[in-house]
Structure 1
């Protein structure tokens, strides 16, 4: 027991010294380097779920959820859709937006989005982009072993602002404050965000996928209850309501925050990661039997959408 306590104290001191060294070097890092550190070293769990929970946000948008429903890209092949999106998005963080991998990923994603250019509005894409920022910060607030400082939050904003520019989006927010205002206004509007049959079907499809991921640990009913509470905590009451979900009980919310506290305390005593967690490469090897790379990204996406992309490129 004494040995375990000493080991935990040692890990705590190592993590603290590691963080202090990073903090001291923070002014020398640009936005991409900061986000890479947060996502690949310090908060891989929180950043992963921040990005993936943000996709629930699209289900309250009638225009986006309708496209998803018509193409059957989520309800039909849920796990593939989630993995493909994570591959393309995490390539930006794992390797940098201007790297060969990052540029190839954005180009491929732009081609895929181009298939829906006549049906999805610019403001819908901007809304989703802003949700990646808001929900990642919120996930770290709840589950992270420490809070982000203003420099790190600003780095997330600058990173996704650059992503938006590379996606040729218009009317991007000019500050982090504007990002929160845009997400709040979009969600509160009954025109841009509302409960729909398509949204309910898509929400249920992702719920089933999460149950598959954690089915060996918890019963499906418990997973749904906890996921329901997590979406409420991260997304807020109005978003949660427009997903068509029942308001979680006080007990459920208490459990979510308790789990956040346990995770935060646990991570205080974990040694820092010294090898980057490059999710895009892991998922490419797992799903496509090849590493993340410029030419390999061309395989990523629903087959029928990829066919449309190829036809569009030939025109």
Structure 2
């Protein structure tokens, strides 16, 4: 799936926002203070942890450190098993759905199963019960969970306000003022947009964004398919870690005892 790396990066970014649409999860995220205080670092660290695990596996030195980090960060966090399972499921389903809708190609059944197996193993290592046997079961869980819990909330609106600058920064400068309707178009889910306080995009916006995504996919298909990972452990092309990062720098600051 190296050739879908750019699409998965966008999908991870969309999955990050999706958690804000669940009021009780948004409240927990707001209470930790990390998203408000360091929104860029929080978003980048989430992606890096996943990339480190994918690159090194669960039993490598770096992979074990990432699992330990996830368990440390989530220790004592309020939430049911389904809440934690939902967060993992967004990381599985949202990137694949974006690839299938807007990528240079659709994912294969084998790739979807491999991704499902990866997150099932991560759930096991994080002591989260009932991981999925198939991608299809995972998508039904995500859709049912959001049907039950997705709703507007003050906490979700606050998290969106703190993090919209991240999305604006990813857009071409002329589109930056239109970040909210563009993001809403990418979600393609009016209920989710309402829960996040985003406007429902008008037909012209939908057509424009979808034409842009179609042109992007066509351009990617004209390039040689990537055959190697674009992620280099310890390095990140971002203002958060301009000179690279050490594993101990990832995650929230440790609180003094």
Q: What is the TM-score when the length of structure 1 is the normalising length? A: 0.75
Aligned counterparts of 1:140 and 1:199: Cα–Cα separation in 2: 26
Aligned counterparts of 1:144 and 1:277: Cα–Cα separation in 2: 17
Aligned counterparts of 1:285 and 1:74: Cα–Cα separation in 2: 17
Query: Structure 1: which 5+ residue stretches go unaligned?
Result: 1-37
Aligned partner of 1:131 among 86, 90, 104: 90
**Deviations for 1:104-162, whole angstroms, at most 9, x for unmatched residues?**
1111111011141xx12221110111111211111111221111121111111111111
Aligned counterparts of 1:219 and 1:255: Cα–Cα separation in 2: 11
2:49 counterpart residue number? 88
Which runs of structure 2 are paired with 1:227-306 in the superposition (5 Å)?
227-231=183-187, 233=188, 236-278=189-231, 280-283=233-236, 287-288=240-241, 296-303=246-253, 306=254
Q: Does 1:168 align with 2:168?
A: no
8 Å contact from structure 2 (residues 181, 200) kept in 1: no
Query: Structure 2: which 5+ residue stretches go unaligned?
Result: none
Q: Relative to 1, partners in 2 of residues 1:105 and 1:286: Cα closer, same or farther, differing over 3 Å? A: farther
8 Å contact from structure 1 (residues 91, 102) kept in 2: yes
2:62 counterpart residue number? 101
Displacement of 1:287 in angstroms is: 4.0
Displacement of 1:179 in angstroms is: 0.8
8 Å contact from structure 1 (residues 87, 279) kept in 2: no
Secondary structure, counterpart of 1:146 in structure 2: coil
Aligned counterparts of 1:269 and 1:69: Cα–Cα separation in 2: 43
Displacement of 1:275 in angstroms is: 4.1
Aligned counterparts of 1:144 and 1:285: Cα–Cα separation in 2: 23
Q: Relative to 1, partners in 2 of residues 1:49 and 1:245: Cα closer, same or farther, differing over 3 Å? A: same
Aligned partner of 2:30 among 59, 65, 69: 69
Q: Does 1:111 align with 2:111?
A: no
Aligned counterparts of 1:253 and 1:93: Cα–Cα separation in 2: 33
**Deviations for 1:40-70, whole angstroms, at most 9, x for unmatched residues?**
x211111111112112121122222112212
Aligned partner of 1:212 among 166, 169, 186: 169
Tell me the matched-pair count: 257
**Deviations for 1:63-103, whole angstroms, at most 9, x for unmatched residues?**
22112212221122111111121221210112222221111
8 Å contact from structure 1 (residues 46, 140) kept in 2: yes
**Deviations for 1:159-208, whole angstroms, at most 9, x for unmatched residues?**
1111111111012233222211111111111xx33210010111222212
Q: What is the TM-score when the length of structure 2 is the normalising length? A: 0.91
1:221 counterpart residue number? 177
Q: Does 1:307 align with 2:255?
A: yes
> Which protein is richer in helix relative to its size?
1
Aligned counterparts of 1:245 and 1:201: Cα–Cα separation in 2: 12
